[in-house]
Amino acid sequence: MHGGDEVVAAPSRPPEPLDWKFSQVFGERTAGEEVQEVDIISAIEFDKTGDHLATGDRGGRVVLFERTDAKDHGVSRRDLEIMDYPISRHPEFRYKTEFQSHEPEFDYLKSLEIEEKINKIRWCQTANSALFLLSTNDKTIKFWKVQEKKVKKISDMNLDPSKAVGSGSVASSSSSSSPKPCLVNGSSFDGSYNNLSNNFFPPGGLPSLRLPAVTSQETNLVARCRRVYGHAHDYHINSISNNSDGETFISADDLRINLWNLEISSQSFNIVDVKPADMEDLTEVITSAEFHPTHCNMLAYSSSKGSIRLIDLRQSALCDSHTKLFEEPEAPGSRSFFTEIIASISDVKFSKEGRYILSRDYMTLKLWDINMDSGPVATFQVHEYLRPKLCDLYENDSIFDKFECCLSGDGFRVATGSYSNIFRVFGCAPGSTESTTLEASKNPMRRQVQTPTRPSRPLSSITRVVRRGSDTPGVDANGNAFDFTTKLLHLAWHPTENLIACAAANSLYMYYA
């Protein structure tokens, strides 16, 4: 300390930019293959361990993948790391199972079709080797249990296949005018009971009579819907989020946030309600909501006006007032017809330790320190080259696309998607200038963008950072022509390793560094 001011130690060197490589692809389509609407991926989520990955699609299906490379040594990956065992292989996943989570429905009271599309998936705590997860469409949330069931196989049956029911003249009543009586073993008999006793059951028993035996046990994965949480939202559900207490979760639609207990599906508590008495006075809607990763009483939700509100459930039952409000003041003279549209936040995520909030609006990623509500500590411009095209994007409704964002487990990097099936990775560590562009393909084209005019300040500094992407008009960050029909909306970062899973239409791509 000197003169009452805290001395901030000079930051260490920022981490080197990562070299991303293609890892895997699931559901890759061939050239010219038409993508079915129901196969398009609409949600991606890693579990807390990173050993399982879930995807949801517009057809209401949930597909689960499991990690395979960590099991090759017979020891858990965490134990290998403790033993300082060299692990050279990158994370690999394989298909595990899939199930139909939601079906299309029709609300007869409102004459409204309810799509089966999966909006969000969230993993819950595992128990007894069973996997639990929440999935939701526009109206209904479901709690699923996925567990291995052992199916026994029986062999050495006494039934003779050649004489069994359904094969041969014995079973078919039409093949014989007078069918003969049939024994359990498939043999027929004539004559009296005495002949039967003498011919078929000789003294000493029947040598060919065998007791059935269990030869093997097959393990099948069975998904069972444990609970259905419905009839609580008048508007489309845009978010679900698990609480750190492991007992409750929230669901959010345009105007309300409800709090549920996992064990009780018959009732929920309304904790946020922004619906005005007169709907003509409505100025903003809720766009995303998430619980704090460690404080069970705190959650954040974003709005269509570009603001993020942090609320404390201990204050009151209905959280009409917020604890903190995070929003960036509008620059004077910058207002236009599209200002409010592109300011709408489509996704918010807490960092792993809960200190920072990452938000994505249409043009930028913003990183907020929950201890500093005067403005974001860093701003990353995702596709600034689209600003001259906002009118075209409005005409084809692309301006309303909702891109997701994610943070790395160590908090040093953030990522989000864009058009032409590309996604951006930015370094947010102090002094980092990392800005990488990747295309969702087997041969991702990358270009490092080193554009900041000054090095980034530490996140604790009041000075904010602005990181730009490519500013070349008419082309995307890879120099290709615009393609608004191919968009990378959904992606997830592995909780402990540098692995990103992203969705390009019906294909799931994975990249590691």
- All domains of the chain in start order, with CATH: 23-72+84-154+216-449+480-512 (2.130.10.10)
Q: Does an H or E element contain 145, and which?
A: strand 141-155
Which percentage of the chain shows pLDDT scores above 70?
Answer: 76
* pLDDT of the residue at 310: 96
**Separation between Cα atoms, residue 434 and residue 419, nearest integer Å:** 20
pLDDT at site 91? 85
Task: Give the confidence band of 209 by pLDDT, cuts at 50, 70, 90.
Answer: low
Sheet holding 435-439, edge to edge: 405-407, 413-417, 422-427, 435-439
Q: Which of 190-199, 207-216, 312-321, 420-429 has the lowest mean pLDDT?
A: 190-199
The predicted-structure confidence for 96-149, as pLDDT tens digits, reads as follows: 999 999 999 988 888 889 999 999 999 999 988 899 999 999 999 999 999 988
Q: 3-state DSSP call for residue 139? A: coil
Tokens standing for residue 287? 């766009």
Which pLDDT value is given to residue 448?
40
Closest CA to 72 of 58, 55, 91: 91
Q: 352 CB contacts (<8 Å, ≥6 apart)?
A: 293, 407, 409, 410, 411, 495
Determine the average pLDDT of the residues in 500-507: 95
Q: Which residue has the higher pLDDT, 150 or 205?
A: 150
Query: What does the pLDDT average to over 174-194?
Result: 48
Amino acid at 378: A
Span 6-20, average pLDDT: 68
Q: What is the mean pLDDT of the chain?
A: 82
The 10s digit of each residue's pLDDT in 442-475 is 877 644 444 433 333 334 333 345 555 544 444 5
Give the model's pLDDT for residue 332: 77
**What confidence score (pLDDT) does residue 79 get?**
63
Q: Is the predicted pLDDT of residue 330 greater than 50, yes or no?
A: yes
Residue-level pLDDT at 201:
59
Average of pLDDT values for 319-344?
Answer: 88
Given the DSSP bridges, would you call strands 465-467 and 378-381 parallel, antiparallel or unpaired?
parallel
| Range scoring the smallest mean pLDDT among 78-92, 272-286, 479-493 | 78-92
Spatial contact of 495 and 49, defined as CB atoms under 8 Å apart = yes
Q: In this predicted model, which residue has the larger pLDDT, 485 or 168?
A: 485
> What digits encode the pLDDT tens for the residues 57-97?
999 999 999 999 865 545 555 665 555 555 557 789 999 99
Supply the pLDDT for residue 112.
87
Does 187 have pLDDT greater than 90? no
Give the CA diameter of the chain.
116
Residue 232: its pLDDT value, please? 94
Q: What is the mean pLDDT of residues 212-233?
A: 87
Q: What is the mean pLDDT of residues 207-223?
A: 77
Q: What is the 3-state secondary structure (H, E, C) of 409-461?
A: CCCCEEEEECECCEEEEEECCCCCCCEEEEECCCCCCCCCCCCCCCCCCCCCC
Q: Who wins on pLDDT, 485 or 201? A: 485
Look at the block and give the residue holding tokens 């028993």. 205
Q: What is the pLDDT of residue 109?
A: 82
Rounded percentage of the chain residues whose pLDDT exceeds 90: 61
